[in-house]
Amino acid sequence: MTNPTLPGPPAKGGTATATRPVAAWHVDAGAGEARPLDPGAVAPVAELLRGNAAAGAADRATWVRLADVAALHDAAAGLGPDAHAGAGHPDTPRSRHPLAVVKRVADDWLLVVTPTAWYTPDDRQVHTGRFATLVGPGVVLTAEDGGAGVHDEMLDRLQAPGAPRGGAVRRVTAAAVTAVVSGASAVELELGDAVASTERLVFEQRRADPVQRIYDLKREITEARRALLPVTAELPELLDPDVPDHLGVDRRVLERLVSTVERIDRHLDAHDDLLSDMLQVHMSQVSVRQNEDMRKISAWAAILVYPTIVAGVYGMNFAHMPELAWTLGYPMALALMAVGCVVLYRVFRRAGWL
């Protein structure tokens, strides 16, 4: 299991001069496709950020993917001294969660860092990483740490029917936020399937112990909610009136995404409650099985005690026992033992103890 790390600033003195894109696309306004560009033909990130022009930014945008989140932080550092200002910058909203950041790093640049999550069914684990976006006039830089596949989801959404509309930068930003939320939704669905299979295991006749599996799933649900909470906390920051229109996301889209995140959290909470109920049911089943075993042991003990008592009485060999001189005394004692055992067996069977 991997955990998201705090999205801190880049190392002191780091620059974006030598940073090169690993992939790049040209995105038009409206609902046009994202056309791939040769990363080698794209200028270094520092030059790209310095050379972005506000003119035509709403009509077209260059979307650049960097190698990792640290490289994107270096790019943000190259925008000016305010990139390290943190809460001291007058236009920088204070993050409400330590694992996510939405802040202005320059007048026309917005940095968004959020955790990501993905699920591996083989080991039934939720893994977490980070996704970062640096948005400016006509340029969007993105980077991902982890295997959530946010970039692939973004491409699918930008090129599919019903792709995000509006300005080019807004289209890419909306696709990025939607891809992160979509990944969280996929994790919730996978966890729901795992919870359903665990429920079947709890009620199976064979006595497999599901306690470890239940505990593991509850831990993974907690991990998923830990990654989802910052998204819930920071998404509304994109609606901040101080954020320029070309950097934000359409209000209706964002409200729909916030509603989706809240729904996912409710479902995860329901899965967690269901697992708790499963654990209680399993413990009740264990208690019932123990009671059934004790009743069976007690019934068989009573059946076995009866012939022992009869044998003990006849084994005392007192002088005035009439059966000692009776030819049928021994068969009668055996018959008495057998009849008594049969009667006790039928009584316990009828009572449901056997």
Could you give the 3-state DSSP secondary structure of residue 110?
strand
Looking at residue 92, its pLDDT comes to: 39
Side chain identity, residue 271: H
Looking at residue 144, its pLDDT comes to: 93
Looking at residue 60, its pLDDT comes to: 79
Looking at residue 288, its pLDDT comes to: 79
Contact 213, 199 (CB under 8 A): no
Each residue's pLDDT tens digit in the chain (354 positions)?
545 443 444 444 444 445 678 888 888 877 667 788 888 777 777 777 776 544 344 577 889 999 888 888 888 887 755 444 433 333 433 444 456 777 777 777 888 888 888 999 888 889 989 999 888 888 889 999 988 999 999 888 888 776 666 678 888 888 888 888 889 899 999 999 999 888 888 877 666 778 888 889 999 998 888 888 777 666 666 655 566 555 566 677 777 888 888 899 899 999 999 998 888 888 887 887 788 888 888 888 888 888 888 888 777 777 777 666 777 777 888 888 888 888 888 888 888 887
Q: Could you tell me what percentage of the chain is helix, strand and coil, using 3-state DSSP and rounding each to the nearest 5?
A: 55, 15, 30
Cut 0.85: pTM above it: no
Contact 247, 108 (CB under 8 A): yes
Owner of token pair 């994107």: 72
Could you give the 3-state DSSP secondary structure of residue 27?
strand
Could you give the 3-state DSSP secondary structure of residue 26?
strand
Q: Tell me how crowded residue 84 is: count the other CB atoms within 10 A of its CB.
A: 15
Residue 309 Cα distances to 165, 315, 335, angstroms? 91, 10, 14
Tokens representing residue 200 in the block: 């079947």
